[in-house]
Amino acid sequence: MKHEILHGLSIPKIGFGTWKIGGGSYADPKLDSISRAALYSALELGYTHFDTAEMYAGGHAEELLGQTIRESGIKRETLFITTKVTPSHLKYDEVLNACEKSLMRLGVDTIDLYLIHWPSAGMKLEETFRALNKLAQDGKVRHLGVSNFNLKLLKQSQALCETPLVTNQVPYSLSDRSYVRNGVLEYCRQNNILLTAYEPIDKGHLKVSRALQTIADAHNATPYQIALAWLIAQPRVITIPMSFNLQHIKENIEAVEIQLSPNEMEQLTNG
């Protein structure tokens, strides 16, 4: 596995997303079995970064992740768990309470990376960061970050965060360059902040251009793997694809080994 090294941290270039694990907006017990199988297979294949949120499956994604980790016997300290506080919980006490509940559901003593999931219209960022900084001081979370923050909010967060802000998690893929256009990616690079690319393969609906297919064929890889390889070849970018399909889970982590040439990178970037 390749890693991004920053602020004394080593974070895998490819992690495992958990949106739809255990349900969508609400828990759906019918999905428990395939959700556990997907998580278990990811752990076995060597994924060590797992991205979840209190919002996912109404907290059930965190529960399934915690249970599967414990059952796998894999040591907690070898893993890196990211979770997120929901936009409706951004007041001081709500943040502390939400974090406590995430810790309980995950069954861990500390969260490696805790993010504000989305900005909310009426949020008071100073108040939210007062709570987040307290969580970091108390050791409930190790590192802090944000998600879906534009450049202005990212800069404000960086100023309010008492520890180095580790990431801004945003949509980024071959087809979605909105956070390149709005200056966030460049700012992240200049300020040692990771851009965590979500929906890296367009929620499974990747548009396969002729160039993408040709590059995939040349590497004996799938276009999905090339889309991931293109992302992780970029400095300060990591990603967190999700899949229930065991073959896809394997292909996604193996994409880290694909070396794209400068010419292939250019074709994909400009395509």
Ligand X SMILES: NC(=O)c1ccc[n+]([C@@H]2O[C@H](COP(=O)([O-])OP(=O)(O)OC[C@H]3O[C@@H](n4cnc5c(N)ncnc54)[C@H](OP(=O)(O)O)[C@@H]3O)[C@@H](O)[C@H]2O)c1
Q: Which of 4, 51, 54, 63 binds ligand X (CB under 6 A)?
A: 51
Quick check: 147 binds ligand X (CB under 6 A)?
Answer: yes
Quick check: 92 binds ligand X (CB under 6 A)?
Answer: no
Q: Which of 32, 54, 62, 199 binds ligand X (CB under 6 A)?
A: 199
Torsion from C-alpha of 200, 204, 209, 212, nearest 10 degrees:
50
Exactly one of 26, 40, 47, 56 is catalytic; which is it?
A: 56
Decide: residue 264, CB within 10 A, 0-12 exposed, 13-18 middle, 19+ buried.
Answer: buried
Select the residue whose beta carbon is closest to ligand X and give its number: 17
Residue 81: φ, ψ to 5°: -110, 125
State how far the alpha carbon of 180 is from the alpha carbons of 143, 184, 196, 216, in Å.
24, 6, 13, 24
Residue closer to ligand X by CB (options 220, 263) is 220
Quick check: 148 binds ligand X (CB under 6 A)?
Answer: yes
* 47 given a catalytic annotation: no
Residue closer to ligand X by CB (options 245, 269) is 245
Residue closer to ligand X by CB (options 174, 233) is 174
Q: Which amino acid is at 184?
A: V
Contacting range for ligand X; rule: CB under 6 A; set: 73-81, 86-94, 156-164, 193-201: 193-201
Quick check: 24 binds ligand X (CB under 6 A)?
Answer: no
CA 244 to chain centre: 16
Helix (H) or strand (E) holding 116: strand 111-116
Quick check: 62 binds ligand X (CB under 6 A)?
Answer: no
Residues in the chain: 271
Q: Which of 12, 22, 59, 241 binds ligand X (CB under 6 A)?
A: 241
Q: Which of 67, 91, 244, 265 binds ligand X (CB under 6 A)?
A: 244
State how far the alpha carbon of 39 is from the alpha carbons of 105, 188, 205, in Å.
16, 30, 22
Alpha helices of 46-91 — where are they, by DSSP H? 60-72
Contacting range for ligand X; rule: CB under 6 A; set: 2-10, 71-79, 153-161, 238-246: 238-246
Q: How many CB atoms lie within 10 A of CB 29?
A: 11
Report, as residue numbers or ranges, the catalytic residues.
56
Catalog residues that contact ligand X under the rule CB under 6 A. 17-19, 51, 117, 147-148, 169, 198-204, 222, 224, 240-245, 248, 251-252
